[in-house]
Amino acid sequence: MLNLLRKSGARKRKGQLLYDDVVTRSREPVFFLDFSVPDTIDGRFDMVVLHAWLGLSALKNAGFQEEAQGLTDAIFIGFDEAMREQGAGDMGLGRKMKAFADAFFGRVSAYEEAADEDAMAAALARNLWRGGTVDARAKALAAYVWRARESVKTTLPDGLDFGPLPNA
């Protein structure tokens, strides 16, 4: 029983460290200033989801299932805490969390299905700019995502290094 609790605590700590890496990168001003991702709750959510997908995909593909689950847990705890900070009460929180989960997994699925940079640029245009056209910023961000996918693999499972920030 104690080993189970110890293992759960370790997974939670590791998940929180990975989540901190995701949030730190997601909040970089370059995404909001140079790429015009809306600096709103939705825009910030989308940047967290994009970087979470990069981390989760790399962890799962490398066989780090426990770490991936810890990161997923930390992400949804973060969503819950953010909603509570905005004043969401217990009564409506379940419905809002379901909406977050649906949006999260829908975007993760779209990114996972993107087979190349062009498909990723289209997925980014749909999600980050709500159906915007595939333009230079979408293509540049897609190139960043492709580079970050490779970079993240080098630091698993100890952290998530997404590599250099993108250039618009």
Query: How many CA atoms, within 13 angstroms, populate the side-chain half-sphere of residue 77?
Result: 12
Q: Which amino acid is at 66?
A: E
Angle at 49 between CA 94 and CA 40, to 5 degrees: 80
User: Is the CB of residue 65 less than 8 Å from the CB of residue 156?
Assistant: no
Greater confidence, 146 or 2? 146
DSSP string spanning 146-159?
HHHHHHHHTTTTT-
pLDDT, one tens digit per residue, over 26-43 is: 999 999 999 999 999 899
User: Is the CB of residue 62 less than 8 Å from the CB of residue 79?
Assistant: no
Within 10 Å of residue 92's Cβ, how many Cβ atoms? Answer: 10
Domains of the chain: which residue ranges?
12-153
Alpha carbons 126 and 110: distance in angstroms, whole number: 10
pTM value is 0.91
Give the chain's radius of gyration (CA, Å).
Answer: 16
Per the structure block, which two tokens stand in for 143? Answer: 């190139």
Q: With bands split at pLDDT 50, 70 and 90, how would you rate the model's confidence at 132?
A: confident
Give whichever of 3-12, 19-28, 71-80, 129-138 has the largest mean pLDDT: 19-28
